[in-house]
Structure 1
Amino acid sequence: MDDYPLLNLFWTMMWLFLWVLWFFLLFRIITDIFRSHDMGGWGKAGWTLFVIVLPFLGVLVYLIARGDSMGRRDLEEAQRADAAFKEYIRSAADGGTPNRTDELAKLADLNARGALSDEEFQKAKGRLLA
């Protein structure tokens, strides 16, 4: 280890970090290309080819051209995942069955609007409470 100075170790670590960062960015952009719903198949194929054939230029141009929508797609995906997680927690807490109070409120609203007759309302209410 005497022939490898400490400064060279730092430079090696920096280059390794930048190499990993580059691949992370490259895979992140390729993932975003395929996740994008506002592009057709030819657009996705073109961007993918551009990023693979000329990686440095392709990544730079993609970030300049579509960087803002990339962040927006990330935010929307995170919000969808959060909503799905909260819904899963809610359904697991309810035991997977709808809340009776909510169902009764819906039935009463349908009855008040005239969509259900009084007889239909009573039957549905009886089934729900049984």
Structure 2
Amino acid sequence: MGFADFFWFLLWIFSFTAYIFVVVLIISDLFRDHQLSGWLKAVWVIFLVFVPFLTAIVYVIARHKGMAERASSRRGIVAEADDYHPAASASPSEDIARAKELLDAGTISQGEFDALKSKALGNQYFGA
């Protein structure tokens, strides 16, 4: 096996991997689209199996705008989830003081205060 054969082998492996990536992208987009009926989703998948390259090209050309919108809305959901940070304080004493205020206001019970207090003290010792 010479260099040219090895080069063509690598080119085919790259092409096949890229095609599999596109098929997975198309199938995930199909199931993310709530406006498309189940029958049309099935037709797209059947065509992807029997006429794979042509169907992938047609799908990407015909539905590119919807794919972009669904992908960007999906990224927005993930970005919102990534931005979530629970309220963290600088020290356990601040957590305990806030919990004590809630206890004094009658918002939480003594048991809930004890749980918050032990959690705050546990976070101090375990670095969580």
Per-residue CA distance 1:104-126 (angstroms, 9 max, x = gap): xxxxxxxxxxxxxxxxxxxxxx3
Per-residue CA distance 1:36-68 (angstroms, 9 max, x = gap): 112121221121122222111211111111011
Q: Does 1:127 align with 2:106?
A: yes
User: Compared with structure 1, are the counterparts of its residues 93 and 45 closer, same or farther at alpha carbon in structure 2 (3 Å cutoff)?
Assistant: farther
Residue 25 of structure 2 corresponds to which residue in structure 1? 28
1:84 to 81, 84, 98: 81
Distance in structure 1 (CA, Å) of the matches to 2:28 and 2:60:
13
SS at match of 2:106: helix
In the alignment, structure 2 segments of 5+ residues that lack a partner are 90-97, 99-104, 110-128
Q: Does 1:75 align with 2:72?
A: yes
Residue 15 of structure 2 corresponds to which residue in structure 1? 18
Residue 57 of structure 1 corresponds to which residue in structure 2? 54
What one-letter code is carried by the residue in structure 2 that aligns with 1:76? S
Matches within 5 A, 1:97-112: none
Distance in structure 1 (CA, Å) of the matches to 2:9 and 2:66:
35
Give the structure, 1 or 2, with the largest relative contact order (CA under 8 Å, sep 6 or more): 2
Number of aligned positions between the proteins? 96
Residue 88 of structure 2 corresponds to which residue in structure 1? 93
TM-score under structure 1 length normalisation: 0.64
Moved over 4 A (4+): none
Per-residue CA distance 1:55-101 (angstroms, 9 max, x = gap): 112111111110111111111101101102222x2x2537xxxxx8x
CA RMSD of aligned residues (A): 2.3
TM-score under structure 2 length normalisation: 0.65
In the alignment, structure 1 segments of 5+ residues that lack a partner are 95-99, 101-125
What one-letter code is carried by the residue in structure 2 that aligns with 1:60? I
> What is the aligned-residue identity percentage?
33
User: Compared with structure 1, are the counterparts of its residues 5 and 76 closer, same or farther at alpha carbon in structure 2 (3 Å cutoff)?
Assistant: same
